[in-house]
Structure 1
Amino acid sequence: MTTATSPEKQARRLPSWATAFGPQIIAALIAGLILGLVAKNMGESAAGEPNWLTETLTTIGSSYISLLKAAVVPLIFTAVVSSIANLRAVSNAAKLAWNTLLWFAITAFIAVVIGMVLGTVMQPGASAAGDVPGEYTGRTGDWWAFLTGLFPGNFLGLEASTKVAESGDMTTSVSFNVLQILVISIAVGIAALKVGAPAEPFLKLNASALAVIQKVLWWIIRVAPIGTVGLIGKAVATYGWDTMGSLAMFTLSIYVGLALVVFVVYPVLIRAHGLSVKQWFSGAWPAIQLAFVSRSSMGTMPLTQRVTERNLGVPRAYASFAVPLGSTTKMDGCASIYPAIAAIFVAQFFGVQLDFTHYLLIALVAVLGSAATAGTTGATVMLTLTLSTLGLPLEGIGLLLAIDPILDMGRTAVNVAGQTVVPTIVSKRQGILDLSLYSAKRTGDPFTDDAAVDADGIDHVETGAEPAGVPAGRREEDLVDSRN
């Protein structure tokens, strides 16, 4: 007589690499690299179009990014409104907010100084090959446009545009301005706090909507390995090593700067506050890893907030304010290191001599203008803002766009790393960091969404394991508060 095996027992027999998200991402990176090299070697079709494999990888990658972007607008609005509302539960909320902004500026300044030093020492523009690019016609930024862009044209900050192709076909596309959505969300959140009790139903509805949106985002995050194959494969197939070769020194300068910030600056700051560097790395790494492959700080935000609360011990009421704010304004990779090195690259490429005032302006733009990156993929607007402030030719951007997706992976990873560091430092300085949770052994899979909280106070996730860094015996209400 045979005995049926339950699905739970079958799942437990699977090897860990088949169910753990981290190994799946690594496997996807390798698979994407291999498929990208194959597609690159296949060449173009007879009609000069990309081959079928390149098209397939492009479609998979762009579809995944589209899924992330689709959730950006409702996520920003509900997350920011909830984060402002959650400040009611935090003592000295104004002091926490001020310290958060201060440390955002301090770390941004350190990052931009590293970028300027590397750009000056490594001279990436002097060794770049290629003709001077033509006039740049893409999206640009300047201080006046940045300031006027803060005022929304409608409640959701949506913009519609219609294009007419040569064939006569009309296509309408809808875009959004993240800065405007952020302004609207902050205004609504503050207004809800001022209204008081009558706004409670609205705040509860907003919190419920945020929980639903985050659930959908967790589903999107779970298919990240598939999107990773397409994104990495498309980058390798389209740009390959030839394009990177002509800009090798620039690419190397960017990644050296990114590595210095993540592996030197942040650990020094963590250690200076009496915290374990190893615990920070192990706690923040899942979010850093997802940011690298997704190239979206906003798309990574739910996981960033999760590891900041659960692994690093930042109180949920504060983390739900600092992380969403950081996801839209804390950009050490996109807004500090990259524009600093890129601006120096453009100056060297065009033979423009920079003086001390130019370097001061680069630092000023990095510290004050990082909100212009707006948490989406790419940092072109921030770069044009920097070049416009310095009076450098915008045509140089066209030379850098070819390798931008490759650089953007590292930039976004640094952005997210900084979004975990600042709340941790501020919490430690204010004496609200849960040191036992910060120092706890990392168990479970932070990529796995919550399933239930039992009456015994242990938070059980879908894999049946305890979530990362959550020791048994924590109060049930604390665990419920940290679920979203």
Structure 2
Amino acid sequence: MSETTTPRRRRLRLPSFSVQVLLGLALGVLLGWVALQLGPTAAGDPNWLTTTLDTIGSSFVTLLKTIVPPLVFLAIVASIANLQQVTNAARLAWQTLLWFAITAAISVAIGIGLGLVFQPGNSSTLSPEAGSEVGTTGSWLDFLNGLIPSNFLGLGASTQAADDGTLTTGISFNVLQIVVVAIVVGIAALRTGKAAEPFLGFTRSALAVVQKILWWVIRLAPLGTLGLIGRAVATYGWDLLAPLGSFAVAIYTGLALVLFVVYPVILRTNGLGILSFFRGAWPAIELAFVSRSSVGTLPVTQRVVERNLGVPRSYASFAVPLAATTKMDGCASIYPAISAIFVAQLFGIDLSVTDYLLIAFVSVVGSAATAGLTGAVVMLTLTLSTLGLPLAGVGLLLAIDPILDMGRTAVNVAGQALVPTIVAKREGILDVERYASASAEDLFSDDEPADADVDAEDRRPEPVAVG
């Protein structure tokens, strides 16, 4: 009696996730160039390819943003409930804010220095008469307005700045308000004791479900990258850079110095490997560049900080959402510093030492003050109004703002991953082995980390202890 063997089918092996994203990026640039060559329709509207790329990219970012409210709320509540001592959280929060300020101060110093070296306002071919007032302005009261929740979920009518500086209103969420609500609920559950255990069990289970949905969405990142970068190339091209070439070069030089010089120095000073950080954080940095949204990238940022860089979830779930609203070295430090010098030079206004100190002050604390609103335009108008410079100068910079915003957002997100990592290392709670073996591929595996705090009671992690 003979036995027959059934031949095994070979499964098609897809490239690694990082390669998929790079392929999406390359294909997006190609399709964007094709769409740019096609030009607008006879009616002046975007052609079908530009519209398709825009739809793909914006849909991906919208899906990510949809996950943000439940992810932030559930993660913070579950994490606070796992802390046995609230004072630990307070100390970590203070250290986080301190490093926010330190890195912001270094970034704005670089921005001021580059503004003085490049002299972007003196070398520009634009005239002050071409400027126009913008509808978006930053105020020192925005922090209080954005900190107090308008309702339990932090939802309500929101105001955001569009690329042209105009305001758009609608139903949205405020991450800072969600953080506040989640902290209050978490502390209340912690103090309630045994009666809150069913609620906390539900919270952990819901967090596990939300995280599973999140990774389904993130697997669409190659397609989203294709749409986002393709739309950027098709819509903006590079022709708009000519009148503001020196300004754009100064901005990107400052961003590169912070990302590839300042951050590595800080890492080495704290005994952390540079390549390990960039290997682990690169998925979030890359997505931030193409999406131009720190909030949209927040779920990925939080994941790389926890899974790749070894920061405990009980700390990362608080620090990363807070950073996404208040930690912006690109938008709130480098950009407003160079832009303020540009506007002053263009309008023939001499800045004194006091003015430069004001620029530094606004950059260090201004991003927290404007946490209720998002966008570099808000920070720039706050800086200009504090210095008494013409707000009409902002209108001159809006033409190339989307091109600059890609680099700004990438630096923002890199800093948002850096600070929790540094604080965790200094406080002795960083998983150094996981950090040293950081890999972008680990982010997208189906296996949960061993210390995930979303399962049953017997898998609840040890509380974060601060020495």
TM-score (norm 2): 0.85
Q: Distance in 2 between matches of 1:380 and 1:172?
A: 16
Q: Which consecutive residues of structure 2, in runs of 5 or more, have no partner in the other structure? A: 160-167, 453-457
Name the structure 2 match of 1:168.
none
Name the structure 2 match of 1:158.
155
Return the offset for 1:114: 0.9
Q: Distance in 2 between matches of 1:156 and 1:414?
A: 29
Q: Is the Cα–Cα contact under 8 Å of residues 329 and 375 in structure 1 kept in the other structure?
A: no
What SS class does the counterpart of residue 143 from structure 1 fall into?
Answer: coil
Q: 2:107 aligned with 1:111, yes or no?
A: yes
Name the structure 1 match of 2:8.
5
Are residues 301 and 218 of structure 1, via their aligned partners in 2, closer, same or farther at CA, if it must alter by over 3 Å? same
Q: Distance in 2 between matches of 1:379 and 1:209?
A: 34
What SS class does the counterpart of residue 352 from structure 1 fall into?
Answer: coil
Q: 2:416 aligned with 1:419, yes or no?
A: yes
Name the structure 2 match of 1:274.
271
Name the structure 1 match of 2:163.
none
- One-letter amino acid of the counterpart of residue 315, structure 1: P
Are residues 200 and 367 of structure 1, via their aligned partners in 2, closer, same or farther at CA, if it must alter by over 3 Å? farther
Name the structure 2 match of 1:472.
none
Aligned residues: 447
Q: Distance in 2 between matches of 1:353 and 1:374?
A: 30
Are residues 458 and 154 of structure 1, via their aligned partners in 2, closer, same or farther at CA, if it must alter by over 3 Å? closer
Q: Is the Cα–Cα contact under 8 Å of residues 285 and 410 in structure 2 kept in the other structure?
A: yes
After the TM superposition, list the runs of 4 or more consecutive aligned residues in structure 1 that deviate by more than 4 angstroms: 372-377, 476-481
Name the structure 1 match of 2:310.
313
Q: Is the Cα–Cα contact under 8 Å of residues 142 and 371 in structure 2 kept in the other structure?
A: no
Q: Is the Cα–Cα contact under 8 Å of residues 372 and 381 in structure 1 kept in the other structure?
A: no
Q: Any residues of structure 2 matched to 1:17-96 within 5 Å, and which? A: 18-88=14-84, 92-96=88-92
Percent identity reads 63
Q: Any residues of structure 2 matched to 1:458-477 within 5 Å, and which? A: 477=459
Q: Distance in 2 between matches of 1:369 and 1:121?
A: 24
Q: Is the Cα–Cα contact under 8 Å of residues 295 and 377 in structure 1 kept in the other structure?
A: no
CA RMSD of the aligned region, Å? 3.2
Name the structure 2 match of 1:339.
336
Q: Distance in 2 between matches of 1:247 and 1:83?
A: 47
Q: 2:414 aligned with 1:450, yes or no?
A: no
Name the structure 2 match of 1:323.
320
Q: Is the Cα–Cα contact under 8 Å of residues 331 and 373 in structure 1 kept in the other structure?
A: no
Q: Distance in 1 between matches of 2:83 and 2:349?
A: 48
Return the offset for 1:111: 0.9
- Deviations 1:227-255 (Å, cap 9, x if unpaired)? 22222122122211111222222221111
Q: Distance in 2 between matches of 1:136 and 1:25?
A: 39
Name the structure 2 match of 1:167.
none
Greater relative contact order structure (CA < 8 Å, 6+ sep) = 2
Q: Is the Cα–Cα contact under 8 Å of residues 83 and 324 in structure 1 kept in the other structure?
A: no
- One-letter amino acid of the counterpart of residue 334, structure 2: I
Q: Distance in 2 between matches of 1:172 and 1:143?
A: 20
Q: Distance in 1 between matches of 2:154 and 2:440?
A: 39
Name the structure 2 match of 1:193.
190
- One-letter amino acid of the counterpart of residue 334, structure 1: C
Q: Which consecutive residues of structure 1, in runs of 5 or more, have no partner in the other structure? A: 163-170, 460-475
What SS class does the counterpart of residue 238 from structure 2 fall into?
Answer: helix
Are residues 343 and 380 of structure 1, via their aligned partners in 2, closer, same or farther at CA, if it must alter by over 3 Å? same
Name the structure 2 match of 1:395.
392
Q: Is the Cα–Cα contact under 8 Å of residues 56 and 224 in structure 2 kept in the other structure?
A: yes
Name the structure 1 match of 2:365.
368
Q: Distance in 2 between matches of 1:10 and 1:479?
A: 38
- Deviations 1:394-441 (Å, cap 9, x if unpaired)? 22222222322222222222122222222222222222333333333x
